Every structure is written in C-alpha cells, then in structure tokens.
Amino acid sequence: MGVVQIKSVAPGGTRESDDANEPPRLREVLDVAASLFHEKGYRSTSLADIAEALGMNKASLYYYVRSKEDMARQLILRASKRLRDVSREPVIDAMAPDQALERLVREHCAVLLDCPNELGLLVQQRKFIEPRVLLEISEREHTYVAHVRGIIARGVAEGVFRPVDIPVATSLALDAINGLLRWYRHGGKLSRPAAIDATWMFVSGGLAPVVAKRKPRGR
C-alpha cells in the first residue's frame, strides 16, 4: 500500500488558510500565550506574564482577549478545527478503511507537530481548563473521535482490520498519536516524517489481520 500524502507544512508554519481570519496582532497574542502555557503550565501562567512577553501592559491585552480562559478557548478551538476539518473531507469516506485511517493518522500527527502548544493544552493540561471551555470543545472532539471509530469499525466489518473492540482500539490509536507530544523532539533521533511513519506503523500494526501460520509439510 502506498503512503497517503498529506499537505506539507514548512517548519514553524501553518496550513494554508489556518488562522486566516485572525488579525495579525491577535495571532501573535495567542501564539505567545500558547508558548507560555506549554513552558510554564496553564495554571502557572498569568495574563501579566503574557503581556510582559508581548511587550505590552496588561490593560492593553484586554483589547484582544477577555481573559486567560478566553485565550485557552481560542487556542483549543483553533487546533481542534484542523482535526475536525480533515475528518470531514469527502474523500475520506470514499477511501478504503486502511487508507482512510492512514490519512487521518498522518494528518493528526501533522497537526500535533505543527501546533504542539495548542494541542498540548488540550491533551496534557485539560484538567486545568475550565469546564465551560471544555464543554464547548467536546462537540468537536466527539465528532472527530466518532469518525475515527467509524473507520475502524468499517475496516473490521470488511476484514481489512482484525476483529477488535472498536472503542478500545480507537482510544489506543488516539493515545499513540497524542503520545508524540511527549516523546517527539525537533532535531532529535527521528525526523518529522520518520516519527509520523513510526506512529502509523504502530497503529496499523495493532489492527492488521492475524495471518495463520502454515504448518510445515511432513517430509
């Protein structure tokens, strides 16, 4: 099976049209906030810290955002939109299950590596995010997870994947992808493409049909 291609993104860049509706200064505010949330932790980062990093006073920051919670909301919505959008591409449903899942896994990995601060806020620090903010995000999460689950279920039904507990397999696949946030390092042992390849190989290996071993012929 050939490798499913994803949109290439320059290091430190974003996909075409991502954040296109954000004014440049607001984008800068959110990017700095995301970086500080990742470095210091969401709970330990104050609006004053963000304002200082931006070279503005705290009062000026309120021109762009209402609160720290508002920043978290915008950052998570920004990143989750990318996952939701790729899962809604019509071409996904027309693909064979293994190709569709590979497309989603590789795109999910790419979004994580493009936006580690935003996705890290959701994946690693969600216990510190206010419940009302998480509630707003949950619909997008559920839509995306349901799509992954549906592809795995289709693959099992068609014999492309081995029989598995669908919800458990979905959780394990997403955990493997989100694990990139913990172990991947830019400039480390694995390149970005190699890290994405390794993640897909792990996920696909766990779903691959079991091939019965042939008994050796008697002499």
Q: Which of 137, 102, 147, 131 is CA-nearest to residue 4? A: 102
Chain mean pLDDT for the chain: 82
Q: Are 108 and 177 in contact (CB under 8 A)?
A: yes
d(CA 69, CA 81): 18
Give the domain ranges of the chain.
69-207
Identify which has the larger pLDDT, 107 or 130: 107
The whole-number average pLDDT for the span 55-83 is 85
pLDDT tops 80 at residue 187 = yes
Residues 48, 49, 50, 54: is their CA dihedral positive or negative?
Answer: positive
Identify which has the larger pLDDT, 213 or 155: 155
**pLDDT at 216 (0 to 100):** 65
Q: 69-207 has which CATH code?
A: 1.10.357.10
**pLDDT at 104 (0 to 100):** 92
pLDDT tops 80 at residue 138 = no
The whole-number average pLDDT for the span 128-153 is 82
pLDDT tops 70 at residue 79 = yes
Contacts of 16 (CB under 8 A, 6+ apart): 7
Band (pLDDT 50/70/90 cuts) for residue 215 is low
pTM, to two decimals: 0.76
pLDDT tens for each residue of 108-124: 999 889 888 888 877 77
The whole-number average pLDDT for the span 151-164 is 96
Q: Which of 78, 82, 80 is CA-nearest to residue 31? A: 78
The whole-number average pLDDT for the span 84-97 is 82
At 153, which helix (H) or strand (E)? Answer: helix 131-157
**pLDDT at 186 (0 to 100):** 86
Q: 3-state DSSP call for residue 21? A: coil
Identify which has the larger pLDDT, 59 or 134: 59
pLDDT tops 50 at residue 190 = yes
**pLDDT at 174 (0 to 100):** 95
User: Over pLDDT 90: what percentage of the chain?
Assistant: 41
The whole-number average pLDDT for the span 154-175 is 96
